[in-house]
Amino acid sequence: MKLLRHLLLIFVSTLMSVPAYSASLIRDAEIEQALQQLAKPVLRSAGLGSGRIRVLVINDPKLNAFVVDANHVFIHSGLIMKLNRPEALQAVIAHELAHIANGHLTRRATNARVAGRVTAIGMALAAAAAIGGNGDAAVGLAAGTSSSAARRFFAHTRAEESSADQSAMRYMGSAGLDPSAMVDILQIFRGQEALRPGRQDPYARTHPLTQDRLRAVKGFAASYKKRSQPTTTEASYWYARMSAKLNGFLRNPRTVLRRSESKGNGEIATLRRAIAYHKTPNLKKALAEMNALLKMRPRDPYYHELKGQILLEARQFNAAVSSYKQALALAPREPLIESGLGRALLAQGSSGAAKQALTILIRARSRDPGDPQMLRNLALAYAKNGQNAMASVATAERYAVLGRFDDAAIHAKRAIGALPRGSSGWLRAQDILASSKAAPKRKKKRK
C-alpha cells in the first residue's frame, strides 16, 4: 500500500500536462537482465549499488540518453543500436550515472522551480507497443514535453558535462573498462552542434559537445587506458543477446534474416532468426529456432518466456501457458513473466484458468505496480472472477499510470461506492481519487 501511494505521488508530481510526443518504454525481462549485467561494474565503481538504479530502454530511433530522477537511466533504442561494443553502452551509462552522483539533477530541479519556466516536465509510465509492435512485452513511457521546456529541463551545462565526463572516465577506469569507449560516443555526435536545432539528435541538444570537451575526454582516456582489461565474456554475451533482441523486434524481419549476424547455428544468430520468423510471421520456423535455442540452454527462463510469447500471439494458448510456467519456474520472482503467464491463462477462457490468472497477476502487481498491460489483465481477471469492484480499482490504477486521471477518477469513484469502507481496495481507490484531484489538468485544444 505504501509503495502504491509512493508511486502515485511520483506519477502526479512528474506527469507532464501536454506531452508533445509519446514513446514506448521497452519492458522486457531479458533486455532488462542484460542491462543490469552491463551496468553492474559501473554502478559498483560509482558507489551507487546495483539494486537502486534501473537502466531502461525507450523505443525511439533518435540518439539520446537521460536521467529524470536518482533511480532511473533512460537510453533510446536508436543510440544502443548505433553502438558496436558493450563498453560504449557502459560509457553512456557511466556518464548518466555521473549526473546522478554529482548532484546535477537536484541543482537543475531547484533552478527550474526558482525560474518558474519549466512547468510541464517529467515522465509518466504509460501503456505502449512492445518491441515487436504490440503491447505484450512492453510498458510505455510518455517521455516528451513541450520541446523548449524539455530541453531546458534535461539540458546540462558545459561545466556539468565536463564534470560528468571526468567522473564517468573514473568509473570506467576503476571497473577495468576501456575508457576510449567514451571517445567513441562523443565522435558519434561530433558535428551535431553545427546543425540547426531541429536536425540535431536530442543528445546533442541536452549534452553540449565542444572541441575542448572532446580533447579533455581523449586526455582522460589516455590516462586511464592502462587500467582497462579485455571485454569479459559475460559482458559480450549479454550485449549480444540484447542487441539481437532489439534488432529482431525493431528491424524489418526480412532485413534481419539477410544480415550476416543471422547466419549459422550460433545462439545469437538463432535468436535473431526466431524473432524475425515470428514477425514475418512464420510460426513453424519461429518455433523450430526457439526449440534449437532451448536445446542449447534448456534452463534459460527468457527463452521459455519468448517461446510463450510467440505461441500466445499465434493463439496457441495451452502451449503458451506451458512455456510461461516453465519460464516462471526458472525465474520465480520476475513480474514481467508472471504478467505474461496471467495473460495466457486468461486467453484459455476457463473459469479455473481465470482463478489462476488472478492469483498470479495480483502477485505481479505487488512486484511491479506500474505496468499498465498487467493492470489491464488484472482488471479482466477480477471481472472474470466476479469481483467487479476490484476490477474498477485495477482499471483506475491503470488509467492513473497512463496519466488519464479523469478516467481514473471515474473508476475510482465506482470502486469506492461498491467496496467496504476501509478495505484494501477501498483505500487504493481513495489514493487514486486523491491523486486524480491533484493531477495537472490538460488544457482543451481550441478548435
The answer to whether the peptide bond before residue 281 is cis (omega within 30 degrees of 0) is yes
DSSP 361-392: HHHHHHH-TT-HHHHHHHHHHHHHTT-HHHHH
Question: From CA 391, how far away is CA 185, in angstroms rounded?
Answer: 47
Quickly tell me which residue has 518455433 as its cell.
Answer: 287
Distance CA 156, CA 99 (A): 9
User: Looking at the predicted structure, is the pLDDT value of residue 249 above 50?
Assistant: yes
- Please classify residue 55 by burial: count the beta carbons closer than 10 Å to its beta carbon, then call 0-12 exposed, 13-18 middle and 19+ buried: buried
Percent of the chain with pLDDT over 90: 52
The predicted structure's pLDDT at residue 155: 52
Neighbours of 173 (CB within 10 A): 21
Q: How confident is the model at residue 156 (pLDDT cuts 50, 70, 90)?
A: low
| pLDDT for res 196 | 53
Whether residue 79 is predicted with pLDDT greater than 70 in this model: the reply is yes
Helices (H) and strands (E) in the chain, counts: 22, 6
Q: Does the structure show a pLDDT above 70 at 301?
A: yes
| 3-class DSSP assignment, residue 106 | helix
Given pLDDT bands bounded at 50, 70 and 90, which one contains residue 191?
low
Of residues 432 and 236, the one with the higher pLDDT is 236
- Give me the pLDDT at residue 209, please: 64
CB-based contacts of 97, cutoff 8 Å, min separation 6 = 42, 43, 46, 48, 53, 73, 168, 171
CA distances from residue 282 to 221, 252, 274, 279, 446 in whole angstroms, order as listed: 47, 14, 9, 7, 47
User: Does 345 or 1 have the greater pLDDT score?
Assistant: 345
What is the arithmetic mean of pLDDT over 171-183? 90
Conformation bin of residue 139: beta by default, left when phi > 0, alpha when psi is -120 to 50: beta
Query: Cα–Cα distance between 256 and 277 in angstroms, integer?
Result: 10
pLDDT above 80 (res 413): yes
Top-confidence residue, 133 or 255: 255
The predicted model gives 267-272 an average pLDDT of 98
Q: What is the pLDDT of residue 20?
A: 32
Among the ranges given (30-34, 51-55, 87-91, 316-320), the one the predictor scored with the smallest mean pLDDT: 51-55
Average pLDDT over residues 44-60: 84
pLDDT of 172 reads 92
Give residue 157's pLDDT band: very low, low, confident or very high (50, 70, 90): low
How many CA atoms, within 13 angstroms, populate the side-chain half-sphere of residue 132?
22
Residues 339, 371 contacting (CB under 8 angstroms): yes
Per-residue exposure over 212-227, b if at least 16 CB sit within 10 Å of its own CB, e if not:
ebbebbbebbeebeee
Residues 6+ apart with CB under 8 A from 106: none
- The stretches of 47-85 forming alpha helices (DSSP H) are 77-82
Residues 6+ away with beta carbon under 8 Å from 9: 435
Q: What is the pLDDT of residues 99-148, one digit of tens each?
A: 888 876 655 544 444 333 222 223 333 222 222 233 333 333 333 333 44
**Phi, psi (degrees; rounded to nearest 5) at 75:** -130, 130
> Which strands form 23-26's sheet, in the order they lie side by side?
65-67, 72-76, 54-59, 23-26, 139-142, 124-126
Residue 188 bridge partners (DSSP): none
Distance of CA 14 to the CA centre of its chain: 17
pLDDT score of 270:
98
Which residue shows C-alpha cell 508472471? 338
Instruction: Report the C-alpha gap between 9 and 118 in whole angstroms.
Output: 19
Task: Return all residues near 425 (Cβ < 8 A) that are at least 6 apart.
Answer: 389, 390, 393, 415, 419
| Contact (CB, 8 A) for 286 and 310 | yes
Tens of pLDDT, residue by residue over 320-342, are 999 999 999 999 999 999 999 99
Task: Please report how many Cα atoms fall inside a 13 Å half-sphere around the Cα of residue 280, on the Cβ side.
Answer: 18
